[in-house]
Amino acid sequence: MLSNYHTTPLEDWVTQLYIKLEIFHPSQINEEFIAKKLRIFLHRKPRPSFFEIVGNYLGITIDCRATQEKQREMFFHELCHILRHCGQQSIMPKAFRDLQEWDAQNFVKYAAVPHHLLKYIDFDQHDLEQHMAELFGVSTELCKTRIEQIKNRSCFYSSTTRNSVSLF
């Protein structure tokens, strides 16, 4: 399946980030480690998750009332805002805010289950979503979405290369 899969620029960006951080196995994906390497202060408190950039201070606060899996997903969402976005969402146009949220949601999938670590997954395995969730420490819902994304993009590329249909 993965031989027909082509990465997106965002996936490539995440892979390059993880390579710089020397993350080469799913067990190395760790919020505290990533935050420390990127000089981001990480806090877990009983309040909705958010990020802060104040001068040189970078901080992410994660809602500690959520499950560990959801906390990891929240971390990646807020991390995306710090690494890839600018501006204060409360005063920006809705369309721009929506674009940043769309980018953050995609970033979560790619950071939680990155392309360069898909080699550790047997896609023919029974109970694939559960296996992925345990391997990457995220929810089965996120894994289901990522699996569907991989399947859909692999099918698209395999059918377009097989049929070689010109659009012009």
pLDDT in tens, 52-107: 999 999 999 999 999 999 999 999 999 999 999 876 766 778 888 888 889 999 99
Which residue range(s) make up the domain with 60?
2-160
Q: In Å, what is the CA distance from 78 to each residue of 7, 24, 57, 69, 166?
A: 22, 22, 14, 15, 40
133 assigned to some structural domain: yes
Residue 20 belongs to some domain of the structure: yes
Sign of CA dihedral 148, 85, 139, 36: positive
Query: 118 with 129: CB under 8 angstroms?
Result: no
- The stretch 9-23 carries a mean pLDDT of 96
150-161 residue pLDDT tens = 988 886 545 544
Q: Is residue 18 part of a domain?
A: yes
pLDDT for the residue 4: 79
Give the count of domains, the chain. Answer: 1
Q: Is the pTM of this model over 0.75?
A: yes
The mean predicted confidence, pLDDT, of the chain is: 89
Sequence-ordered list of residues with C-beta below 8 angstroms from that of 35, at least 6 positions apart, any chain: 41, 42, 60, 75, 79
**167 in a domain, yes or no?**
no
Domain annotation covers residue 168: no
